[in-house]
Amino acid sequence: MKIVKTTLLATLLSITLGGSAMAADYRNNPFTLTYDNALTENVKGMVNIHPVKYTQKETGIEVVANVYTPANYDAGKKYPVIVVAHPNGGVKEQVAGLYAQNLAEQGYITIAFDAAYQGGSSGVPRYTDKPQNRIEDIRAAADFITQYPGADADQLGLLGICGGGGYSIKAAETDKRFKTIATISLFNSGKVRRNGFMDSQKETIEQRLADIAKVRAMEAKNGEIQYTPSFGQNMTKAQVDAMPFELYRQGYEYYAQTHAHPNSQTNSTIDSLQDLMEFDANTNVDLINQPLLMIAGEKADSLYMTEEIFANATGTSHKSLVKIPNATHMELYWKQPYVKQITDKLTQFYGENLKSFM
């Protein structure tokens, strides 16, 4: 495995944001969960976590996931279900698990999964990160969880976080099993890979595409997969402070420090960029006719991506944009009181749009 640093890689630091205080250490959690107040054991009558594996029918890839069941779960009853898609570079043990657990505490069956080729899921080359795979991940999670004991397949919700938010938008456009969709800190991965964060690299698009082509040619010749840089844990404070956007700075803190997990590599194959740079979450958004809730930090430098997609979601008569006061992009991943505010909004939204518990 080889890490290549070229001009095209400047866009790849757009991962996500965190904080300065250490959160829960995955090494001290039997399920390797990184978030505060994470489950440490299954207790009868309480919210429980169930590590599962399933195979994607389209790809044959084995996916690992955590299913969260609500308190007093009874497989003979019916519960609404929510699929939670994690951010770029993330894994199920981080923010996706946090909101999956929070929603299970409100009475939902939820699933947080590792994307194919990433985390604990199978697939090679490792850390391939192509949009079509990420969209299929969401559909495959729906395939699995709607067959889970107690799941009401007709009451299926979707929650996408950061890059998972952009891919959830695309999945919901055509997969009408999802009766409702919400996003948190949406990130339009293709647009940023193509134009740079905040359109800061539009003038270098053709050069970066040429660089990607050279990498693919080298791989075809020698078979050695080449990767973008990842957030390591050895950057100095001065190096972090020198990053050009708050998204990058807080992203390093979250993924490399406060909520680090060994399966969260935050990088991808360079070959993935050929697919990412032609992708855009902000197309055909008018196909969404389901209720839509979009949540973003009022001070997030990524807010423009949520606002663009929200404006184009003209096919639904039930949509809402919530800006969390004083919050940045990554602070919505872990920081209070923001997490509680978001959980309350999600609970209200899904409660209004998914059938009552039976």
Q: What is the mean pLDDT of residues 264-278?
A: 93
**Lowest-pLDDT range, 134-143, 193-202, 279-288, 342-351?**
193-202
Structural domain contains residue 308: yes
- Taking alpha carbons only, the member of 71, 23, 107, 64 closest to residue 335 is 23
5-9, 14-18, 334-338 — most confident range: 334-338
267: CATH? 3.40.50.1820
Structural domain contains residue 141: yes
What's the one-letter identity of residue 132? Q
pLDDT at position 243 is 86
Structural domain contains residue 157: yes
Q: What is the mean pLDDT of residues 320-334?
A: 98
Q: Name the pLDDT band for 357 (thresholds 50, 70, 90).
A: low
Distance CA 256, CA 247 (A): 14
Q: Name the pLDDT band for 309 (thresholds 50, 70, 90).
A: very high
In tens, the pLDDT along 51-64 reads 999 999 888 999 99
Q: What is the mean pLDDT of residues 332-345?
A: 98
Q: Percent of the chain scored above 70 by pLDDT?
A: 92
pTM (2 decimals)?
Answer: 0.92
What is the extent of the structural domain holding 338? 2-353
Tally of domains in the chain: 1
Structural domain contains residue 358: no
pLDDT higher than 70, residue 195: yes
pLDDT higher than 60, residue 317: yes
Q: Which two tokens stand for residue 57?
A: 């029918």
pLDDT at position 14 is 35
User: Regarding beta strands 292-297 and 109-113, do their DSSP bridges make them parallel or antiparallel, or are they unpaired?
Assistant: unpaired
Q: Percent of the chain scored above 90 by pLDDT?
A: 83
pLDDT higher than 70, residue 15: no
Structural domain contains residue 253: yes
Instruction: Report yes or no: 285 and 230 within 8 Å, Cβ to Cβ.
Output: no
Q: What is the mean pLDDT of residues 26-38?
A: 96
In tens, the pLDDT along 159-193 reads 999 999 999 999 999 999 999 999 999 999 999 99
Distance CA 339, CA 349 (A): 15
Structural domain contains residue 187: yes
pLDDT higher than 70, residue 6: no
Please state, rounded to an integer, the average pLDDT across all residues of the chain: 91
